[in-house]
Every structure is written in structure tokens, then in C-alpha cells.
Amino acid sequence: MRFVRDKYFLLCAAVALVIVVSSFYISEDESDSHVGIVHDVHKSENGFVFTLDDSSGESIRCFSKTPPDGCGMYEIEGSFSDDGSMLFVSKMSKM
């Protein structure tokens, strides 16, 4: 058990522990970022619902409290609903 007292072993073990713990905190960030074309914008009671077609061909239904500036290319960040059917937009920027 002499290797446990070795300062380099302890340093490597501490660095490995920090990497493992930080990976859990990084993966808990549920914010998703998508780039695509916004279309089919509709006003609802609480905000605006629209569709984002990203570069992979996926159509994502989005909700935002602020309207997009017309149709076009946007970068959108947000988190999905519990069932994954709607992306709640936290940040939207036109490209």
C-alpha cells in the first residue's frame, strides 16, 4: 500500500475524481442548441409557437414568449418538455 502514499498517485487520483465529478455537472445541463429555418409561426395565448427545421431534417416544435423576426435562419437554445414534444426557447438569435 505504499503507492497510496505516493504524491503523484494521489495527484492523479484527485484529478481523475475532479474530471468524473465535473462530467456529471456538465451533463446535467439540459439546454439544447439548434440551428435551422423557422416557419409556421402562430400566436397563442401565452406566446408564439413555431416550427424549426434543422440541418439534419428534423422538425422541432418550439414555444417562445417573444416572436421571431419573420421566417429565416435562427439559432435557438432551450429545453425540451418532459415528453420531448416541445422545445421551450430561452434564447433565439437570427443568423
Residue 95's identity, in one-letter code, is: M
Domain boundaries, the chain: 1-29, 32-94
Q: Does the model's pTM come out above 0.85?
A: no
Which CATH superfamily includes the segment(s) 32-94? Answer: Nucleic acid-binding proteins (2.40.50.140)
Q: What is the mean pLDDT of residues 56-73?
A: 90
Question: For 25-62, what is each residue's pLDDT tens digit?
Answer: 554 445 678 899 999 999 999 999 999 998 888 899 99
Mean of pLDDT over the chain: 84
- Confidence at residue 28, expressed as pLDDT on a 0 to 100 scale: 45
Query: In which band, very low, low, confident or very high, does the pLDDT at 84 lie, cut at 50, 70 and 90?
Result: confident
Cα-based distances in Å from 85 to 51, 52, 60: 11, 13, 8
* Interatomic CA distance for residues 10 and 28, integer angstroms: 28
Instruction: Tell me how far CA of residue 45 lies from CA of 18, 63, 64, in angstroms.
Output: 46, 11, 11
The predicted model gives 74-90 an average pLDDT of 91
Q: What pLDDT sits at residue 1?
A: 59
